[in-house]
């Protein structure tokens, strides 16, 4: 039976964007915290910690997100840990985000000139104080554009979790298309919703970047 692409179908597609948003936020929160730790380990003075972080980054970046997803969904259920699809999706996207954000932020920390380390060391700041008051505040400014670039990728990449049955935006579009056979309309709506999520993020980033530079260039 072929259905019309009416308001209830439209609402179904649009409202399923909440899962896209939720997954993005979860991945960003958990992956952000983990990624921050990874970035700090990556620039640690202890070589084994650096290797550990490099290994994690290499692993996450070297494996397709899809494999992370399968591992946390099917792999863990084999190990007796039956995760609901949404949880497995959140975990795998968090790992994915941690690897990329960790590497992005490592670069930002390292692009703070070494003289800033030296000047703050000469003022007797401890290593933790150097990070807290001198290096990280400068690294954050540098981090805004690449981090936002990654968030936009992340929003779009959440679509991959439709494979294990999470009905987020892409999956909802797929389901409605199967029922209505109106791919142009359906997927234009889906694309538009993705755009409405990603575009404001880019705008906010540009605004943030400008605001952060206000004080400096004068």
Partner 1 sequence: MSVVRVEDVHKSYGALEVLKGVSMQVERGEVVAIIGRSGSGKSTLLRCLNGLEPIQAGRIEVAGHTLDSSGKGLRDLRKDVGIVFQSYNLFPHLKVGENIMLAPRVVLGCSRAEARARAEQTLAQVGLAEKIEAWPDNLSGGQAQRVAIARSLAMQPKVMLFDEVTSALDPELTGEVLATLEGLAQAGMTMLLVTHEMAFARRVANRTVFMHQGLLHEEGPSEALFSAPQTPELRQFLAGGLK
Q: By the criterion CB under 8 A, which residues form the site for partner 1?
A: 115-116, 118-126, 129, 133-134, 137-138, 141, 215-218
Radius of gyration, alpha carbons of the chain: 21
Q: How far is the CB of 137 from partner 1 (least distance, A)?
A: 5
SS3 81: coil
Q: Which one, 113 or 183, has the nearer CB to partner 1?
A: 113
Q: How far is the CB of 149 from partner 1 (least distance, A)?
A: 22
Q: Which one, 3 or 127, has the nearer CB to partner 1?
A: 127
User: If 0-12 CB within 10 Å is exposed, 13-18 middle and 19+ buried, where does residue 202 land?
Assistant: middle
Q: How far is the CB of 145 from partner 1 (least distance, A)?
A: 17
Lookup: tokens for 105: 């932020």
Q: Are 176 and 12 in contact (CB under 8 A)?
A: yes
User: If 0-12 CB within 10 Å is exposed, 13-18 middle and 19+ buried, where does residue 218 land?
Assistant: exposed
Q: How far is the CB of 46 from partner 1 (least distance, A)?
A: 16
Q: Which one, 25 or 212, has the nearer CB to partner 1?
A: 212
Q: Which one, 8 or 126, has the nearer CB to partner 1?
A: 126
**Up-side HSE of residue 194: CA atoms within 13 Å toward CB?**
21
Query: Tokens 């919703």 correspond to what residue?
Result: 193
């Amino acid at each position: 039976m072929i259905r019309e692409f009416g308001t209830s179908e439209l609402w179904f597609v649009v409202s399923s964007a909440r899962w896209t948003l939720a997954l993005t936020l979860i991945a960003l929160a958990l992956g952000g915290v983990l990624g921050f730790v990874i970035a700090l380990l990556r620039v640690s003075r202890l070589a084994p910690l650096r290797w550990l972080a490099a290994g994690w980054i290499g692993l996450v970046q070297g494996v397709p997100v899809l494999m992370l997803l399968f591992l946390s969904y099917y792999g863990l259920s084999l190990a007796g840990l039956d995760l609901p699809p949404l949880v497995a999706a959140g975990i795998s996207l968090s790992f994915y985000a941690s690897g990329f954000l960790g590497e992005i932020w490592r670069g930002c920390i390292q692009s703070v000139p070494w003289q800033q380390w030296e000047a703050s060391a000469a003022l007797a700041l401890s290593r933790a104080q150097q990070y807290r008051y001198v290096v990280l505040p400068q690294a954050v400014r540098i981090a805004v554009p690449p981090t936002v670039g990654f968030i936009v990728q992340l929003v779009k990449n959440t679509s991959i979790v439709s494979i294990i049955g999470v009905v987020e935006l892409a999956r909802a579009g797929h389901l409605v298309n199967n029922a209505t056979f109106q791919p142009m309309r359906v997927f234009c709506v889906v694309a538009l919703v993705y755009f409405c999520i990603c575009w404001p993020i880019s705008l906010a980033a540009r605004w943030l970047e400008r605001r952060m530079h206000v004080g400096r260039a004068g």
